[in-house]
Amino acid sequence: MRMLCIIWMVFLLCGVMVKNTVADLAVVEQKLNAADVVWLAGDAKVAATQYDAILDNLPEIAEPFRATIIMRMARARIIAGDKAGGLATLDLLKKKDYVPEHHALASEELKVVAEGNTNPGLAQTPIPALMPASKTFHVDSGTSVSGDGSPDKPFMTLNKAVMSARVLRRRSRTKPAIEIVLAPGVYRQEKTVLLSPADSGTDKLPLVIRSKDANNPATITGGTILKEWHKLKDAALINKVPESVRDDVLVCDLTAHKISNMGPLVFGGFSSPRAQAANHRFNTMSAPELFYKGEPQTMARWPNDRLTRIPVNEKPKQEIDRFRRWANEDDLWLYGYWNKDWADGYEKVASVAEDGSISIVPPANYYGFGRRKGCAVNALCELDQPGEWYLDIKGNRVVYLPPENFDPSQCVLASFGTVIDADNCSNLQIRDLKINYIRGDAISFRDCSNLLVAGLDIQDCSGWGIRIQGGKEHLVHSCRIESMGRGAIDLWAGDWQNLMPANSTVENCHISNLSRIDRTYTPALLVDGMGLKIRYNSFVDIPSSAIRIEACDVLVELNHFRRCVYESGDQGAIDMWANPLYRGNVIRWNDFDSIINPHAHYGAAAVRCDDYISGFMIVQNVMRKGSPRGFGSVQFNQGTDNYVEGNIIVDWEKAFSGRSSAGAQWTSKITGHSNSKRMLAETDWQGEAWRQKYPMVRDLLNGNDNHNYLVGNLRLGSGGWGGVSRAISLANRVGDTNMHGDKLADVKPFVAPWYPIPVDLIGPYTGD
């Protein structure tokens, strides 16, 4: 009995301690809010004194917010005219073993601002000026005879200019500054330009490939205009076409257009083993596409405008005659979300049984066919809508049901592949070109350092726009990438496991209308590595994620996101997955507008930290008009050490959602994630270099200290706070419930002086 009494007393004491701890945090919150009110009333000097008093008696539970209060006090003193006091306040951060990365960054910027200078965080990265070239090779697609590359006798092709530049460089004792200049015009690219170490420039003398006139850029195309069309009369094909359109269907012989071989036809998708390359990446399958008046045409399909149940390995209950007809198709594919609303994939049909059940060519997608939600692709018997087309691989023909008033001169087949493929070619600049109608990825770079890709306009390609894998010191600047079969930019630079930054930047780019062929896990921008900046860009109309981060020390700032994650489920406009060692990442000063998926079970998040993602700083963003169900604006799934601070959240059903969990669970055989366990096992994260760089990893597997932190966020309009288990909240406020943020500028009156979101500067600063 005595032992039971002792246990009961300990239990009661622990309960009192917990209550007191919560009460202590409530007192801090009350005092912090009171000081904020004083500042908002115009007396920053008095507010600073009150913040100082809070720091003097900060309880242990509020220690994770010490840097927050220090930054408030420093800003208040500087605004009140006490520069010395403000700088001295910032020195208090040096006494902390760990300063959250967003505060460490803001502290250094505030020191510059205190001296009367512009915040360096708002600086625009300039495009390097063109250097005088010692040799210029001229290219002009309009010339009738290929010359020697001189202004009066230009080459006809880019390939010829590259080969001549290579010969010159090889013969020269010193590497000359070479530029290849393309006159305005259209260059039909039938062969990829291959660049190697022999083509590399130097730091001061790069190899430059550019348009002669940036305002009237050269166009490099992989497309072929299909000028000659005829009525379809081949009995083997015409009998498969629906009777209602047989008189209207046209056929084009590709051989007559100097396209010798379009096969085989192969598709992939996220869940397809055919496309899988490594973890979060999967390969472009280089599908051909048909365009009319610049619009992608639809491969003959059923259903035409939706997905439905497809009888893979089962007998259908309806539409049996339709499925039986599919047995006569020569190259039939299926596309769908076969089991998960976040995993699409293509399947090649092997056969269709008499009962209508469909067998597929292995390997099947990774997730099985629990939902069987899909459609047929490249089905000649379903060619029944204007704009639909069919690729006859055996006959090397295109069968097409054209729209009214069909103009063949505006019908283009994307038939040729990557324009430039550079391997270990450094000090390279690609500037001011248009690239379109590429079958596959537009341009690709492997192990190329000191790379500039600027002013490119890339459209209507079936793969990625720009792929950069390896190397360092990359700058992708002022590019427009839209209407792509997959994503816009794949940037893999630096090595996070070995703490080697790349110092690469993507800035001032317009990215829109992507993932036409592969819909899920094809983010607009995929970043992997360390030391990357994503700044001043726009991401619009993206069915899946806009940015996927698989890296450390990534700064995502001043970007505009609109209508992202509108199709794929279980995603965020910015998305991360299954690695608690992605550290030092700051997401700040971004605008998330209309991140809505009303149909997916989980909805959509502005930022999703999935499966043990930890140590992300999500601060001072504007999140407007979000998903009405499922995820909050920020979603957690068991990660820790994440800060969500100073965000303005407007019309989101939940501000936050998800859970934190004890780190010990991450390595459990039962609850741990295979990728997280693999990353922890393969990385020396307990070594001295890692602990110096990211101090919080020392307690990564200590379940008692695993928390997320929600501080100083403002909720406007409709919705509620939601919740994150094991999160600690401080000074989150509810503002005007009638404010709905139709325009970004609408939030300006609600920007707090201690969280100075630069609303007017968000998004690209040049271009429309």
The secondary structure element, H or E, covering residue 35 is: helix 2-40
The answer to whether 72 and 51 are in contact (CB under 8 A) is yes
Q: What share of the chain is helix, strand, coil (3-state, %, to 5)?
A: 25, 30, 45
Q: Which amino acid is at 598?
A: P
Handedness of CA 329, 270, 471, 430 (dihedral sign): positive
Q: Does 414 have pLDDT greater than 80?
A: yes
State the chain's mean pLDDT as an integer: 92
Q: How far apart are CA 482 and CA 458, in angstroms?
A: 7
Nearest residue to 102 (alpha-carbon basis) of 505, 572, 644: 644
Higher-confidence position of 589 and 702: 589
Q: How many helices (H) and strands (E) does the chain have?
A: 10, 54
pTM score: 0.94
The answer to whether 762 and 559 are in contact (CB under 8 A) is yes
Predicted confidence band at 672 (pLDDT cuts at 50, 70, 90)?
A: low
pLDDT for the residue numbered 126: 96
The fold for domain 2-122 equals 1.25.40
Cα separation of the two ends of the chain: 78
Q: Does 2 have pLDDT greater than 50?
A: no
DSSP assignment of 329-398 equals: -SS-EEEEEEEETTEEEEEEEEEE-TTS-EEEPSSPPTT-SSS-EEEEES-GGG--STTEEEEETTTTEE
pLDDT tens-digit readout, 247-257: 999 999 999 99
Predicted confidence band at 699 (pLDDT cuts at 50, 70, 90)?
A: confident
Total Cβ atoms within 10 A of residue 274:
18
Q: How far apart are CA 435 and CA 664, in angstroms?
A: 50
pLDDT for the residue numbered 279: 55
Nearest residue to 763 (alpha-carbon basis) of 588, 593, 538: 538
pLDDT for the residue numbered 666: 64
pLDDT for the residue numbered 660: 81
Total Cβ atoms within 10 A of residue 18:
11
Query: What size, in residues, is the chain?
Result: 768
pLDDT tens-digit readout, 431-454: 999 999 999 999 999 999 999 999
Q: How many CA atoms lie within 13 A of 436 on its CB side?
A: 21
Higher-confidence position of 115 and 568: 115
* CA-atom Rg of the chain in angstroms: 29
Predicted confidence band at 371 (pLDDT cuts at 50, 70, 90)?
A: confident
pLDDT for the residue numbered 9: 35
Q: What is the mean pLDDT of residues 28-41?
A: 96
Q: Which amino acid is at 52?
A: D
Total Cβ atoms within 10 A of residue 692:
9
Q: Say whether 642 sits in a helix, a strand or coil.
A: coil
Q: Does 664 have pLDDT greater than 70?
A: no
Predicted confidence band at 10 (pLDDT cuts at 50, 70, 90)?
A: very low
pLDDT tens-digit readout, 494-510: 999 999 999 999 999 99
* Residue 669 structure tokens: 């055989």
Place of tokens 């038939």: 415
Range in 103-107, 180-184, 297-301, 339-343 with the lowest mean pLDDT: 339-343
Q: Does 767 have pLDDT greater than 70?
A: yes
Q: Does 584 have pLDDT greater than 90?
A: yes
pLDDT tens-digit readout, 740-759: 989 999 999 999 999 999 99
Handedness of CA 33, 36, 40, 43 (dihedral sign): positive
Q: How far apart are CA 492 and CA 714, in angstroms?
A: 35
Q: How far apart are CA 41 and CA 605, in angstroms?
A: 34
Q: What is the mean pLDDT of residues 98-106?
A: 97
**Adjacent-strand bridge partners of 309:** 373
pLDDT tens-digit readout, 521-577: 899 999 999 999 999 999 999 999 999 999 999 999 999 999 999 988 789 999 999
The secondary structure element, H or E, covering residue 136 is: strand 135-139
The alpha carbon torsion through 715, 720, 724, 726 (nearest 10 deg) reads 90
Q: What is the mean pLDDT of residues 669-688?
A: 81
pLDDT tens-digit readout, 598-635: 777 778 999 999 988 999 999 999 999 987 888 999 99
Nearest residue to 712 (alpha-carbon basis) of 648, 662, 659: 648
Q: Does 406 have pLDDT greater than 50?
A: yes
Using a pLDDT cut of 70, give the percent of the chain over it.
Answer: 95
pLDDT for the residue numbered 606: 96
DSSP collapsed to 3 states, 266-314: CCCCCCCCCCEEECCEECCCCCCEEEECCEECEECEECCCCCEECCECC
pLDDT for the residue numbered 62: 94
Q: How far apart are CA 44 and CA 109, in angstroms?
A: 20
Max Cα distance, the chain (Å)? 105
Query: Which backbone phi and psi does 662 adopt, to 5 degrees?
Result: -65, 135
pLDDT for the residue numbered 43: 96
Q: What is the mean pLDDT of residues 688-703?
A: 88
* Residue 414 structure tokens: 């994307």
pLDDT for the residue numbered 15: 38
Q: What is the mean pLDDT of residues 635-644?
A: 92
Q: Say whether 494 sits in a helix, a strand or coil.
A: coil
The answer to whether 230 and 250 are in contact (CB under 8 A) is yes
Nearest residue to 383 (alpha-carbon basis) of 248, 501, 269: 248
Q: How far apart are CA 310 and CA 369, in angstroms?
A: 9
Q: How far apart are CA 325 and CA 382, in angstroms?
A: 10
